[in-house]
Amino acid sequence: MNFELQNHRILVTGATSGIGLDIARTLAELGADLVLFGRNRDKLAELEQELGAHTLAIDITDETAVSMAFTDMPALNGLVNCAGISILDSVLDVKAKDLERIMTTNVTASAVVAREAARHMLAHGRQGSIVNVSSQAAMAALPDHLGYCASKAAMDAMTRVLCLELGPKGIRVNSVNPTVTLTPMAERAWSDPAKRDPMLAAIPLGRFATPREVALPVAFLLSQAASMVSGACLPVDGGFTSH
């Protein structure tokens, strides 16, 4: 069984930057027909040309807009919930409005997109796969990450419930839980040795992930090579959560 995704139509949220962009490019290489959600209209236009993707500029926290986006969408085989945000503060400085914003984007919006994607698959008689892009922050406490840790732990719980309810309908649901992933933004954020070196020391493999190293496990979970994998939260963290 190979990992190719020909004749698979897959929706990717958060596709215009970071991990989501690499996921979109990797899935396209494997033959997937892509539907991409994002906020950056110019980047979406570029991806239409580069990947032959169908794109939509959308705020996924707008439930009505998300529901309408599925009205005329061709039948899906998969979803990658990758859109997310992080706002960092110590527990003594955390703000309620920031916590609400993180949970709204990372949990509520992802749940709504998953709901609509599942409804869409079932309405078109499709079985398929949903992959939620979570984080090692769901599995381990990180300083200044109260809201982010809470939101990703909630995403993993959501994965398990979706697995339980959608499995009998032929839809598999899993999460991937990456460590620090060296997108251009992360490379800048982790450039200070005082911040970088302690985190690297906690990763048994001794390095951070590349976006490609996250995208390939996502592709595996979307493919029929993972046909008996559902409800898993897969660390892609170089061993960070092993201790």
Positions annotated as catalytic residues are 148, 152
**Distance, CA of 227 to CA of 220 (rounded, Å):** 10
DSSP β-ladder status, 33-38 and 9-12 = parallel
**φ and ψ of 78, to 5 deg:** -165, 165
Long-range contacts of 185-194 (CB under 8 A, 24+ apart): 185/17, 185/18, 186/18
Which residues does residue 10 pair with via DSSP β-bridges, in sequence order? Answer: 34, 78
Q: Are 223 and 32 a contacting pair, CB within 8 Å?
A: no
